Amino acid sequence: MSPTAPSRPWLVLIGLALGVCVTNGFARFAYGLILPAMKETLNWSYAQAGWLNTANALGYVAGAVMTMALIRRVSPSRLFSIGVLTTSISLFATGLDESLIAQSLWRILAGLFGAMSFVTGGALAASLFQDRPHHNALAIAFYFGAGGGLGIILCGATIPMMLDLLGPQSWTWAWIGIGLVSFSFCPLSVWAAEQLRPPTGKAPPKARTPIARMLGEIGGYAGFGLGYIVYLTFLVAWMKERDASVAMISLTWVALGISITVSPFVWRNIFARFASGLPLAMILTGIATGSALPILIPNTFGLMLSALIFGLSVFMAPGAVTNFTRQNLPQSSWTSVISFYTVIFSISQTIGPIGAGWFGDWTGDIGNSLLAASALLMIGAVCAISQRPLTDR
C-alpha cells in the first residue's frame, strides 16, 4: 500500500537527502580524501588502498541483496532508518582501530547498511509528488544529488586542512568527526522516513520484472559501477603525487560537491521527459569526460572543468535508473527493482577500486586508471542508449 502524502513533503525530502549525505557523501566518498594520509601512515600500496573501497563495495552487494530479501517483510521506512543509524556507527568506529582487519570490517558494514538506506530511500523519494511529474523528477534527482553533494562539500572544506595542520596520522580523527556529524543528521532522516511509512494492511502482489527487456539499462549501470568509483577513490592521490597544494585539493573537492548539489536542477526536465535509457547514457558520457579531463588537461583549468562535469553527472546515475523504474514499472516493485539494480552496480563496483589500484601499481601512474575508467564508462553509455521504454507513453 502507498504511504499517505506527507504534509511537509519538501522537509521530508531534505531528511531523506541527509541520509544520502551519510551513506554516500561520507561513507563512500570521504575515503578518497583520507586515503593519501592512511596510505602514507600505514605504508599501503595502491592495491591495498583500493581494497578498502572494494570491501565497502562488497558490503554494498550484501546490503542490496539483504534489502531484496527483507523488503516484503519490513517497510522501506524502517530499513532506511536502520541503515542511516548503523552506517553512522560504522563511520565513527572506523576511527577507533587502525588495523587493516578492523578497517575492512567497518568499511564492509558501512557498505552493507549504507546500501539498505540508499536503496529504500530512493523508493521513498520516488513516492513523493506522484501526481506532479516535474516535482517527482526533481524529488528523485534531489534525493540522490543534494545529500551526496553536501557530504562532499563538508568533507572537502575540512578534511584536507585538518590533515595538513595535524599531520597524516590524524586521519583517525577525521573518521570520528564524520561519525559525529552523521549522528547529528539521524533525527531528521529517521523522522522523514516515518512520514512515508505505508499504512498497515495486506501487501500488494509482487509484479513480475521484465529483466530481459531491461538489459540496456542494466549494462549501463554496470558500466557506471566499474568506472565512476576510480575517480572518487584516486583523484586526490593522483593530485598529491603531482604536488598539488592543500588549497587546490580542497577547492577541487568543494567544486565537485557544489556541482553534485546543483545537478538535480540540471537533470530534472530530462528525467521527466524520457522513460528510456537516454538519461543514463548522457550521464555516463559526462562522468567519462570528467574522469579523463585531469589527465588530458593536467592543470588547474582541467581539474576545475573535470570537477564541474563529473559532479553534474555522477550522482544522477542512480537517479536515472530510479526514474526509469518509476516511469516503467508498478510501485509495488520499485524497491525490489532498485535493489536489483544496486546488486548489479555493487558487483561491478567491487572490481573498480582494486583493479584500478593494481593497474596504477603496474603502470606506475594512477592517472592511467582514470583513463581506463573513462573508457569503461563510455561502453556503459553505449549499452544505456540501446534501452527503450517498457511501456507506451
Mean pLDDT in residue range 310-323: 90
pLDDT at 202: 52
pLDDT at 60: 85
pLDDT at 206: 59
- Asked whether residue 146 carries a pLDDT value surpassing 90, the answer given is no
Angle at 208 between CA 205 and CA 209, to 5 degrees: 135
pLDDT at 380: 95
- Asked whether residue 34 carries a pLDDT value surpassing 60, the answer given is yes
Window from 129-133, 178-182, 206-210, 325-329 with minimum mean pLDDT: 206-210
pLDDT at 207: 61
| Percent residues over pLDDT 90 in the chain | 39
Best-predicted range by mean pLDDT (23-32, 212-221, 327-336): 212-221
Nearest CA-CA partner of 27 in 158, 99, 118, 100: 118
- Asked whether residue 199 carries a pLDDT value surpassing 80, the answer given is no
Nearest CA-CA partner of 379 in 291, 253, 276, 273: 291
- Asked whether residue 127 carries a pLDDT value surpassing 60, the answer given is yes
Is residue 163 within 8 Å of 174, Cβ to Cβ? yes
User: Which carries the bigger pLDDT value, residue 207 or residue 33?
Assistant: 33
Nearest CA-CA partner of 147 in 23, 29, 18: 18
Nearest CA-CA partner of 271 in 232, 335, 326: 326
Window from 139-143, 196-200, 269-273, 323-327 with minimum mean pLDDT: 196-200
pLDDT at 4: 60
Q: How far apart are CA 131 and CA 169, in angstroms?
A: 52
pLDDT at 8: 87
Helix residue ranges, H only, the chain: 9-20, 30-42, 46-70, 76-94, 100-126, 133-166, 171-195, 215-241, 246-273, 278-296, 300-314, 316-328, 334-363, 367-385
Is residue 178 within 8 Å of 83, Cβ to Cβ? no
- Asked whether residue 2 carries a pLDDT value surpassing 60, the answer given is no
Mean pLDDT in residue range 93-118: 92
Written as one string, the DSSP assignment of 311-331 is HHHHTHHHHHHHHHHHHHS-G
Say how many Å lie between the first and final Cα of the chain, rounded.
24
Cell of 67: 534489502
Look-up: residue for cell 587493516?
Answer: 100
Q: Determine the distance from the C-alpha atom of residue 194 to the mean position of all C-alpha atoms in its chain, rounded to a whole number.
A: 23
Q: How far apart are CA 294 and CA 235, in angstroms?
A: 9
Helix (H) or strand (E) holding 6: none
Within a 10 A sphere around the Cβ of 213, how many other Cβ atoms?
13
pLDDT at 297: 92
Mean pLDDT in residue range 65-87: 90
pLDDT at 392: 57
Going along the chain from its start, the domains and CATH numbers come out as 9-198+211-385 (1.20.1250.20)
Is residue 368 within 8 Å of 359, Cβ to Cβ? yes
Nearest CA-CA partner of 26 in 119, 118, 99: 118
pLDDT confidence tier of residue 1, bands split at 50, 70 and 90? very low
pLDDT confidence tier of residue 209, bands split at 50, 70 and 90? confident
Q: How far apart are CA 216 and CA 281, in angstroms?
A: 10
Best-predicted range by mean pLDDT (209-218, 274-283, 360-369): 274-283
